Amino acid sequence: MKIILTTLCFALFISCKKEKPANLQNTTSSMTVKNDSVQSSETPQNIDQIKKEFAVLNDKLLSKKLDSTGFDYNCEEMEGEVHFYYENKKLKMVKHFFADSHFSSVTKYYVKNDNVFFIFKDDTVWQFDGGTAEKPVTKDSITQQRIYLQNENPILCLEKNFTIRSVGKNTDPEKVPNKEKKCDVKDLMKNYQSIIKNKDKKGKIRCL
């Protein structure tokens, strides 16, 4: 009888020991979720926070989880498109595209609490690069900028340059290193403010 009681007590002790880590794990998990939710309500203030916020927002954009509106414009032979992306009626990203005969540009403004915290800019200049009249070869010279902002002022500016040809083997853009540069965002932010003034427009308008 003593052996049976001893065995039961030992089994109960082992059972209690196994339950404790699970309870701790659940507590840790709930704390993590709470901390994430608190952090998500704040405007990112440093590069690490900006990277995390960008990753979350970009994932939502790629999975098409955000609502969008937009308009087109035509101004002095320059055609452009603007798209606004929202989550729960809060602006999250503005995409501005414009082009002329040999140049195109895409600028994406990532927004939190009505503040721009990151800008991605992609400029392309194209030209003929050999070939024949029937089969011309073209070359795209591309400049990309990644701008990290604190209170809408740049704290880190990265740039990469590469070329894409219509024939032949091209360099993988992902393998081209970014170089740190000095940058000024006054013109970009001026364009952003002009865009925001027209955010309720629909269809096609003239100049921004």
What tokens appear for 207 in the block? 């100049």
pLDDT confidence tier of residue 40, bands split at 50, 70 and 90: low
Specify whether 75 is located in the same domain as 96. yes
Number of domains in the chain: 2
Specify whether 106 is located in the same domain as 201. yes
Q: Are 72 and 80 in contact (CB under 8 A)?
A: yes
Structure confidence at residue 24 (pLDDT): 32
Render pLDDT for 53-90 as a digit per residue (tens, 0 to 9).
999 999 999 999 999 999 999 988 788 999 999 999 99
Whether residue 4 has pLDDT greater than 50: no
pLDDT confidence tier of residue 29, bands split at 50, 70 and 90: very low
Structure confidence at residue 46 (pLDDT): 96
In whole numbers, what is the pLDDT of the chain averaged over residues? 83
pLDDT confidence tier of residue 37, bands split at 50, 70 and 90: very low
pLDDT confidence tier of residue 10, bands split at 50, 70 and 90: very low
Specify whether 109 is located in the same domain as 24. no
Q: Are 71 and 201 in contact (CB under 8 A)?
A: yes
pLDDT confidence tier of residue 9, bands split at 50, 70 and 90: very low
Provide the 10 A C-beta neighbour count for residue 49: 17
Specify whether 33 is located in the same domain as 127. no
Structural domain for 170, as ranges:
50-205
Specify whether 160 is located in the same domain as 115. yes
pLDDT confidence tier of residue 189, bands split at 50, 70 and 90: very high
SS (H, E, C) the chain: CHHHHHHHHHHHHHHHHHHHHHHHHHHHHHHHHHHHHHHHCCCCCCHHHHHHHHHHHHHHHHCCCCEEEEEEEEECCEEEEEEEEEECCEEEEEEEEEECCCEEEEEEEEEECCEEEEEEEEEEEEEEEEECCCCEEEEEEEEEEEEEEECCEEEEEEEEEEEEECCCCCCCHHHCCCEECCCCCHHHHHHHHHHHHCCCCCEEECCC
Specify whether 145 is located in the same domain as 65. yes
Question: 43 or 34: whose pLDDT is higher?
Answer: 43
Q: What is the mean pLDDT of residues 185-205?
A: 93
Structure confidence at residue 16 (pLDDT): 40
Q: What is the mean pLDDT of residues 29-33?
A: 34
Whether residue 27 has pLDDT greater than 80: no
Specify whether 35 is located in the same domain as 138. no
Specify whether 98 is located in the same domain as 189. yes
Structure confidence at residue 69 (pLDDT): 96
Minimum mean pLDDT range among 33-37, 93-97, 122-126: 33-37
Q: Are 144 and 160 in contact (CB under 8 A)?
A: yes
Specify whether 12 is located in the same domain as 102. no
Specify whether 102 is located in the same domain as 121. yes
Cα-based distances in Å from 45 to 89, 97, 147, 178: 23, 27, 13, 22
Structure confidence at residue 141 (pLDDT): 96
Specify whether 103 is located in the same domain as 170. yes
Specify whether 56 is located in the same domain as 28. no
Whether residue 32 has pLDDT greater than 60: no
